[in-house]
Amino acid sequence: MFRIIVDLNDQTAGTCRNAGLGKRRNEIPDSGSMTRIDNDRIMRQLLKYGNRTELIRAVVEGTCMHLRWFLETEDKKTKTSDVLRFVGGGALSDVTSQILADCTGRTVEVVASPQNVGAVGAAVISAVGLGMIGSIEEAKKLVPAKKTFIPNPSLKPIYDKNFAVFKNLYKSNKENFAALNG
């Protein structure tokens, strides 16, 4: 297991000392040994997020970048919807929903109880099968959007730039990913 430790300020240094990890900069403990990362630019980029919230946001943005890439690829084959229905536990967060809208440049709708959408879908399929609902298409009226998130146009240039870098990083590291994953 890797833990990344950086002495950015006194609070971080105190955390390092309390964990018994010393106070050297840019160290990754690995099985008790300390390995210095020679490229400070890599470490600064990885750890430019100053706190846990910013790091979690970076992970969410990365996930949204993957979805954007998927939608971009799918759009080459067939037209996808301009409006995304965001479901599951992640859709409970307004922040995550807005990041998804900003990153993809598409309107995002969230239904009530998005974490239960699987059960709702099963009920709809059953109702169609029993003739209680005429078609699956009619079910959309029964599951309206509770919240709508519109992309912030002022963030588009930032996300467009980051998305281009995201794709380039993936392509340039493809061989490394293959080596790591067998």
Do 100 and 84 touch, CB atoms closer than 8 A? yes
Tokens of 154: 């002022």
Mean pLDDT of 124-138: 91
Q: How far is CA 178 from CA 13, 115, 174, in A?
A: 35, 34, 6
Q: Where are the beta strands (DSSP E) in 117-159?
A: 145-149
Mean pLDDT of 80-109: 95
- Under the banding of pLDDT at 50, 70 and 90, the label for residue 113 is very high
User: Which has more pLDDT, 50 or 158?
Assistant: 158
pLDDT in tens, 41-81: 655 565 665 677 887 888 899 999 999 999 999 999 999 89
Q: Is the pLDDT of residue 151 over 70?
A: yes
Whole-angstrom distance, CA of residue 70 vs CA of residue 50: 29
pLDDT > 90 fraction of the chain, expressed in percent and rounded: 51
Do 147 and 97 touch, CB atoms closer than 8 A? yes
Task: Output the pLDDT for position 48.
Answer: 62
User: Which has more pLDDT, 180 or 127?
Assistant: 127
Task: Output the pLDDT for position 5.
Answer: 32
**What pTM, to 2 d.p., does this model score?**
0.69
